[in-house]
Structure 1
């Protein structure tokens, strides 16, 4: 097992995909994000990460964003379609390093990166139906024209790095190791909808979440390590904080994680955070 990480150097307008076997034990999402922050701290990175369940299991529909905010390690989570686009782009994390010399749009298509001047119409970038667009509207950055983060430090970091917007397109497919068992488990988890800590609504939903809840628009800060390593929202913690459920999902997708690997994850994250602080 390995994690595929796309490094985007904003200053040099270069990019590179690297694969890390040593990141596998962090499973995904915020746990991988914290480790990448530790390993790249000198570059003041912004790190987007998804978990192994994004794009394939319901209620796992957030993207983890990790950054340093004036010396404080911050982890926040945004909904919309970004996590599923990343899941079908072939990368587990995107690490934005350095700062662009002038305001720039970053267009990512699978594992390729294009740097565009902000005179470009950002809505013309990417492939409609398979893209997520993160762009500023007034003083906030909106994903898919609706979803946003709860604080302004993400916007401040993007502005500092001269990132005017990000468009991500994912067109790859994902092979399921055991399709029949996957379908069975998928329906089982959909049947746990009553465990979600909110009622169904008619608001726009994050991808692969049937809830349409009123809290889907504004993202989250902090929370349960297991849930946010998958990456589910805090409202799904009764589902994705259960080690047995996580183990079953990972196994049916072909991962070889053990119960102990999952149980040990919070301790691994604690050790990383101690080094960061």
Structure 2
């Protein structure tokens, strides 16, 4: 896993091609909505659909969402999906996926790590990818179904996918990353897990998003908007009390090997807000 660069997979829907790009100067935007906002600022002319994950996805509890950004009537929308998508993108060794252009005849995308296969629109995304290592999104009846259970809050993303003629996306991530200091990582992980009482939902027996032990009844529905730092990691909004704490965030990043400072985390909201001015 590259800790000093951001890796972005560009998918051109019009000519059915893809390209991987690496950015050293985007590391300060951490990930999730922060990274997505900066990428939107850079590539707004492409009218992109941007999927982003954060540095903690796949490693810490309650960090269970993927951030999705796009323009809607000249307004920036940020949608957060649960399910297993965030972990699968992370284990593709990607920080973001940018879809741009428009398919002429409709398409289903089969993504394996850093490669993309373009399938016919009648292909069932749930039949693609590797079991246990994939996340599948299906556009069905004007709404999205993620991993055969999870949904978005509203229909903004479904409408965007329909306009691009994307009828499904399957993402398979097979790469494995092990923290260098496993003992310290385990210690920090357990410390966060002990803060379950700070989660703003009740524990239940419903399907959980990846990295979440709660099984809450709200897991089925995604999120819209929210705390910039929390959604740059990308944690669930119900875990805001945990992941809005600068010390906690710094400890998590540090134990994974990132070189962010306390000041980087403290000043992050201001950094992103300055970029947002270009999009307003």
TM-score by length of structure 2 reads 0.97
Where in structure 2 are there 5+ consecutive unaligned residues? none
1:67-86 residue CA offsets vs partner (Å, 9 max, x unmatched): 10111101110100000101
Q: Secondary structure at the match of 1:204?
A: coil
Number of the residue aligned with 1:152:
155
Determine whether 1:115 maps to 2:118: yes
Displacement after TM superposition at 1:233 (Å)? 1.1
Count how many residue pairs are aligned between Structure 1 and Structure 2. Answer: 277
Number of the residue aligned with 2:89:
86
Determine whether 1:26 maps to 2:29: yes
Number of the residue aligned with 2:55:
52
Number of the residue aligned with 1:43:
46
Displacement after TM superposition at 1:219 (Å)? 0.6
Determine whether 1:214 maps to 2:217: yes
Q: Secondary structure at the match of 2:153?
A: coil
Displacement after TM superposition at 1:120 (Å)? 2.4
**Contact (CA 8 Å) 2:125, 2:137: kept in 1 or not?**
no
Number of the residue aligned with 1:75:
78
**Contact (CA 8 Å) 2:142, 2:159: kept in 1 or not?**
no
Displacement after TM superposition at 1:136 (Å)? 2.2
Q: Give the whole-Å Cα distance in 1 for the aligned partners of 2:185 and 2:233.
A: 16
Indicate which of 209, 233, 238 corresponds to 1:235. Answer: 238
Q: Give the whole-Å Cα distance in 2 for the aligned partners of 1:121 and 1:215.
A: 26
Displacement after TM superposition at 1:125 (Å)? 1.1
Displacement after TM superposition at 1:129 (Å)? 1.1
Q: Give the whole-Å Cα distance in 2 for the aligned partners of 1:136 and 1:183.
A: 38
TM-score by length of structure 1 reads 0.98
Q: Secondary structure at the match of 1:180?
A: helix
Q: Secondary structure at the match of 1:40?
A: helix
**Contact (CA 8 Å) 2:11, 2:99: kept in 1 or not?**
yes
Determine whether 1:203 maps to 2:206: yes
Which structure 2 residues correspond to residues 129-168 of structure 1 after superposition, within 5 A? 129-168=132-171
Q: Secondary structure at the match of 1:22?
A: coil
Q: Give the whole-Å Cα distance in 2 for the aligned partners of 1:122 and 1:50.
A: 21
RMSD: 0.8
Q: Give the whole-Å Cα distance in 1 for the aligned partners of 2:253 and 2:92.
A: 19
Q: Secondary structure at the match of 1:101?
A: coil
Displacement after TM superposition at 1:124 (Å)? 2.2
Indicate which of 260, 263, 266 corresponds to 1:257. Answer: 260
Number of the residue aligned with 1:189:
192
